[in-house]
Amino acid sequence: MNKISLSPEPALMDASPEELTGAHKAAARELGADLVGIADPKLLADEPASARPQSIFPEVAAVIVIGRRITRGTLRGIEEGTNWNTYECFGRRWLEDQFVAHTAFELVSFAEDLGHEAVPLFGYPAELAPAGVAVAEGRPAPNVIVDVRVAAVAAGLGEIGRLGELITPEFGPLQKLSLILTDAPLVPDRPRSFGFCDGCSACAEACPLDAVSTEALSDSNRGGASWQEFGIDAARCSACRNGAVGGRFVGSSRPDRIPAACGRACLASLEERGLLERHFRNAFRVREPWSVDAFGQVDSGGRS
């Protein structure tokens, strides 16, 4: 992948926080970010020590959240029940390991060229187990994992839906994220409320395994925002054969639900209700969804 070279203007060395913030956001966009927001680390200071940005970088002044879209067509093969690899490569592995990581690396380099320290963080799942032992009493064991979803909410990029996935007004649930902790004095964005899940339970209704419970709601108040999540039977969810992609990391059994029956139903519902900013010539869901139940029985959704 070719390096995109951004040379900060000398004037930025003495720029105001507002000018510095604008420069970082513009650089992120030029480097391929589809989403960029600034979270106030104070909104994440109440997270557990094992998930707190300050545990990694005590001098952090701003948390830059960047995201790149999962292209809508990446889900087409799964929606038709004929191809999973497109999502595995372009919706997850290459997107996370290469495209998002490349944008994060170059933006960190941009910040360092201005004399600011910047720590790039991969979008690891929050439930990863610690790897190693604490170096001092009272310190969290490595590795500290900052929840990218909560950071994105604090940065005003979207809200966490009842399925537990980040939903943005641009792409719905279709994005992968990375974080950058920096001592640059950037102006933070504010959390916002969108109401994406108000009156909707499409994700729960779409699950052929009845793994999503609309009655077992849990309340969260994190990152300066409040939301509710449906209860999910982890054992049933991990057995999903309806487009879910298994967890990539040791210690994480949580599947990627974005391409699963529930995630695709979420996207279809958001589009049908006109809640997304981007519009397509044709609807995402143009045929009845197929499904495989807990006994392996297939409902073809009327496909012949």
227 located within any domain: yes
3-state helix, strand, coil in the chain (%, to 5): 30, 20, 50
Claim to verify: residue 255 and residue 177 sit in the same structural domain:
no
Q: Please report the pLDDT score of residue 250 as a whole number.
A: 64
Query: Rg for the chain (alpha carbons), in Å?
Result: 20
Final residue in a domain of this structure, among 150, 182, 214: 182
Per-residue pLDDT at 7: 66
Whole-angstrom distance, CA of residue 87 vs CA of residue 292: 19
Rounded Cα–Cα distance for residues 247 and 227 (Å): 24
Q: Which two tokens stand for residue 272?
A: 């049908």
CB 233 within 8 A of CB 139: no
Together in a domain, 45 and 141? yes
Residue 110 sits in the same domain as residue 141: yes
21 and 163 assigned to the same domain: yes
pTM, rounded to two decimals: 0.94
In a domain, 213, yes or no: yes
Residues 159 and 23 in one domain: yes
Q: Are residues 206 and 178 in the same domain?
A: no
Q: Is the preceding omega at residue 143 within 30 degrees of 0, hence cis?
A: yes
DSSP run (H or E) holding 63: strand 62-69
pLDDT at 125: 86
CB-facing half-sphere around the CA of 8: CA atoms within 13 A:
25
Domain shared by 130 and 216, yes or no: no
Q: Are residues 45 and 104 in the same domain?
A: yes
Same domain, 159 and 88: yes
- Both 20 and 147 in one domain: the answer is yes
Cross-strand pairs, 225: 222
Residues 137 and 276 in one domain: no
pLDDT in tens, the chain (304 residues): 445 556 677 778 788 999 999 999 999 999 999 999 999 999 999 999 999 999 999 999 999 999 999 999 999 999 999 999 999 999 999 999 999 999 999 999 999 999 999 999 999 888 887 788 999 998 999 999 999 999 999 999 999 999 999 999 999 999 999 999 999 999 999 999 999 999 999 999 999 999 999 999 999 999 999 999 999 998 999 899 999 988 777 666 678 999 999 999 999 999 999 999 999 999 999 999 999 999 999 999 988 7
Tell me if 252 is assigned to some domain: yes
Q: Contact 156/162 with Cβ under 8 angstroms? A: no
Q: Are residues 99 and 158 in the same domain?
A: yes
Tokens of 245: 């992609």
Q: Is 168 left (phi over 0), alpha (psi -120 to 50) or beta?
A: beta
Q: Total structural domains in the chain?
A: 2
**174 closest CA partner among 86, 244, 264:** 264
Please say whether the beta carbons of 232 and 212 come within 8 A.
yes
Domain of residue 44 covers 16-182
> Do 44 and 151 form a contact (C-beta atoms < 8 A)?
yes
What is the SS3 assignment for 35?
A: strand
User: Partners of 66 in the beta sheet?
Assistant: 36, 178
Partner residues linked to 69 by β-bridges: 175
Residues contacting 162, CB < 8 A, separation 6+: 197, 200, 201, 203, 204, 217, 227, 228, 229, 230
Length of the chain as a residue count: 304
